[in-house]
Amino acid sequence: MTPTPPTHEQYLELAELAGGFVHEIKNHLNALSLNLQLLGEDFETPTTPVERKAQQRVARLNDECRRLVDLSNDFLRFARTAEMHTAPTDLGEVVARMVDFLAPTARAQGVEVNWFPAELPLVKLDAEMFEKVLLNLMLNAEDAMEAGGTLTLQARAVDGGAVELDVIDTGCGMTPELAARVFQPFVTTKSGGTGLGLATARKIVQAHGGSIALQSEPGRGTKFTIRLPRA
């Protein structure tokens, strides 16, 4: 017998419950981290091998607490993407802001950012939430181009009253196996990464009534295509 999928209301209730649970854990982690910092101050100038070892262990525990807090923050963003406030928005203006924001640091890493504006219909967008999607995709692209490269963003109106935005890099690309799993929660290739960035990006796009897809080839780069309905 095929199980009945959860309703939208049940999903929202579960997301709220999970978010509250993780928020409580985060509060305890912050308290633990604060006490570890205070303990670390007691071993700030170790004089014996035992104190030096204790200092190293406290430092490692502090690092783990920070990673758990980061994971909690990412999960809260993932669980609460349903809380959106949309309005008819010029997608080109949103993209241009993010390009202006990230282009200087990208150039410092040898990455040239190209944005090709176009005449586009308005889309119904929560601009602040959608900027998180672009930030994630653009930072991932930079990470994929350690030796430098080109990041290209281009948008167009397509048949059916939709708008598409491509985010294209010339980086290391992905294997077919990784590309098939990359939107799943907790899938990551980054050291210290949480694997929730692209999963959250997809949830935000889908909450806008849109879709996100990718094409990638090892050694040649990756293209993400976001499709959004017009307002």
Q: What confidence score (pLDDT) does residue 69 get?
A: 78
The DSSP output letter for 171 is S
**Lowest mean pLDDT, pick from 54-68, 130-144, 170-184, 201-215:** 54-68
**143-167: pLDDT as tens digits:** 999 999 999 999 999 988 899 999 9
Which carries the bigger pLDDT value, residue 192 or residue 123?
Answer: 123
Backbone φ and ψ for 228, nearest 5 degrees, come out as -125, 140
Q: What confidence score (pLDDT) does residue 34 get?
A: 84
Q: Cα separations (Å) of 88 from 17, 190, 231?
A: 31, 35, 6
Cα angle 164-136-125, degrees, rounded to a multiple of 5: 45
**10-24: pLDDT as tens digits:** 555 656 666 666 767
How far is the C-alpha of 15 from the C-alpha of 128, rounded, in Å?
Answer: 20
Hey, what are 205's tokens? 């796009």
